[in-house]
Chains A and B, each alone.
Chain A
Amino acid sequence: MNFRTTVLLLLGAVAATEPAATQQTLRLNGYIEHQFSANHYPNSGWQQLDYDRVRIDLNARAGRGARTSVAVVYQLYRGNTSIALADVLPDELREVVGDASVDLENRHYLNHAYVTIRPGPVEITAGKQFLTWGAGAVFNPTELFRPKNILEPSYEREGIGAISAKLPFGPLSDVRVAWVPDGGFDSSGKLVRIRHHFQGFDLSAIVAEFYEQTIPVGFLDVEGFLERRRTIGGDVSGELFGLGVWTETTWSDLAGERWLEVTAGGNYSLRDGTLLMLEGFYNGRGEWDAPYSAASWLHRLSGTRRTLGKGILVGNVTRPFGQLWSLGLSTLGNIGDGSGVLIPSVSYSFAENVDLLFNGLVYFGGSGTEFGVGDLGGFLRGRVYF
């Protein structure tokens, strides 16, 4: 289905719902986004990469608790769309990867597409949906399927195909069961999550079983193995002594390999709007210091492993200026190998439906460290909502 066909179908859906459906409501919106980014690599110098992105959201309510939500995304890349692995891996692995690269191709996809019905007290959702939760600001160990981009954790993510059911047992309490089809029943993901509000704190617990690639597919033409992973965990968030605080943890078993992940953090805002945030992340699956194994690097690049290091600290300061401008400075640091990245940012609300954002990336650390492979970079992004 090409772009024009999809737009016509969406507009057709809008027109079709006008007179007949007395209980049905429909909302169509979205945005157009352009991003210019440039990154400097020690070996290949400056590389430019642009993209245009169109997102069209369609949300319909059909009465009796039934609703559907779809978002179609088209993304076109320009510039250097072939990222050499040698540019993003440490020196000692460059000979191994040779000329291998990751090629970014124009793509269109459904960011999410699900239907929800509510027969009685249970709400059932089927389709590509958001299984996103967790109290952590940057690191969410209990999010098992679509980890955040730690360099821009607030950016939207794709949903995941699943069938889920939610049963509320209070205004702030529910049980959610999800099945993530992947092959047969045994190899599909399954999870149960319970959340509750108690004494001013939000609490949750999660139990999950799914299959994970031991070596990410797509790099170096290496086929990986699927291994069963079992995870239990939970999170707590609330307020202590005027500070917003949270912690989130999981314990996992992947074919005999067992590890703990813990996030803990806090934030505070000043009267002038300045927001201060600090978060620490312990990744029991990581290593305390460089050099890291080739497999770890590939997992990190593919997103199946959150970090290379065992200990990561994140800090952020954001201050609004005149309500339309906002300045920010974030930093991620690997406390084991001493590497890190500084992310200065400037955002400007240019008009009611126009946002501009600049993010810089200043990496530091020696060769082979978690963040020391990078050099310097950044992007300028404009988004117009409709």
Chain B
Amino acid sequence: MNRMTMTGVARPTVAASICLLALAVHGEAQPTPREILERVDANMTMSTARVNAQMTIAYRDGDVRNLIYDAWAQGTDQSFLEFTAPARDAGSRFLRLENAMWIYLPRVGKSVRIQGHMLRQGLMGSDFSYGDASENPSMVEDYDAVLEGEEELDGRRAYVVNLTAKPERRDLAYQRRKVWVDADRWVPLKEERFARSGKLLKTALLSDVRRVGDRWYPFRIEMDDAMQTDTRTTLQMLSVELDIRVPREVFTLPHLEGGE
């Protein structure tokens, strides 16, 4: 079954993993944690997607940088992203296939492999890492879940779910997650991501939830990397198309190097 993250390479996993959907509706019995994860995964399983988004990096000293990109994704393991602004980064492209990633440097005319250890680093200096784009976003396959309870968040009823990486997924960058899921629209509203030691690594806030086809989708994601204290990054979707036709050659090295 194909599944993807909505934000493409830049923040695909953030959207996917954060966008947990639940199954319960008002008046129904409280869902089990696994049922919540299954609904989340089901909601996030689009065959393909195309996203145009603006990434805003706000620095503690007041400086603000804006980047705009187009991204295409197919299934859980194929995505392609091209920055179109600012001028400095225009033409920089990223290709992700399974857990491998390549970057194309337009002024050098060469594609370069991004090694696994570099996936932890911030994408274009943002609070989003390369690795966030490379994880398998399947909540059910990757994590065991415990329902902690319910809370009200931004005026909406939310399930609070604690996730712990399954023993066979010790390779995941985030061994624990705490997710607040909108209990009516089944969209994640907040996520905290932790290291194996329990140290908080990242906090994400999702908002501007809109209807796209038969799904609810967060058009705004704010990410705060606890290790990167002088920045805060906001991803604002400008347009989202789901389950569209994407040419197969988009997810290839020749396309990365040519871009046509």
Contact = CB atoms under 8 A, between A and B. Distances in A.
A323 B108 contact: no
A244 B115 contact: yes
Nearest to B127: A323
Interface in B85-144: 86-88, 90-91, 97, 100, 106-110, 113, 115-118, 120-122, 125
Interface in A74-132: 112, 116, 118, 123, 129-130, 132
Contact of B109 (A130, A171, A200): A130
Given A118-B260, A171-B253, A269-B121, A323 B113 contact: no
Contacts of A243: 115, 117
A238 B66 CA distance: 32
B252 interface: yes
B230 interface: yes
B31 interface: no
A352 B110 contact: no
Nearest to A383: B88
A257 interface: no
B108 A156 contact: yes
A116 B109 contact: no
A-B interface, 7 closest residue pairs, ranked by CB to CB distance from nearest: A130-B109, A244-B115, A385-B87, A385-B88, A171-B252, A132-B110, A156-B107
Contacts of A239: 115-117
Given A132-B109, A385-B87, A385-B88, A171 B97 contact: yes
B60 to A, nearest CB: 8
Contacts of A269: 117-118, 120-121
Contacts of B107: 57, 71, 156
Contacts of B66: 352
Contacts of A275: 118
A156 B105 CA distance: 10
B90 A29 contact: yes
Contacts, number: 111
A174 B117 contact: no
A67 B260 contact: yes
Interface string A192-203: 000101001010
A4 interface: no
Interface residues of A, number: 57
Contact of B100 (A168, A174, A200, A324): A200
Nearest to A172: B253
Contacts of B115: 239, 243-244, 267
9 contacts: A31-B88, A61-B259, A71-B107, A130-B109, A156-B107, A168-B253, A170-B252, A172-B253, A267-B117
Nearest to A176: B254
Given A116-B260, A351-B63, 6 more contacts: A29-B90, A57-B107, A238-B113, A242-B117, A273-B121, A323-B125
A166 interface: yes
Contacts of A42: none
A200 B115 CA distance: 11
Contacts of B65: 352
A322 interface: yes
A5 interface: no
Interface in B203-260: 227-228, 230-231, 249, 251-254, 258-260
Nearest to A134: B110
Most buried by B among A66, A156, A386: A156
A353 interface: yes
B228 to A, nearest CB: 7
Contact of A271 (B63, B108, B110, B227): B227
Interface string B46-88: 0000000000010100010110000000000000000000111
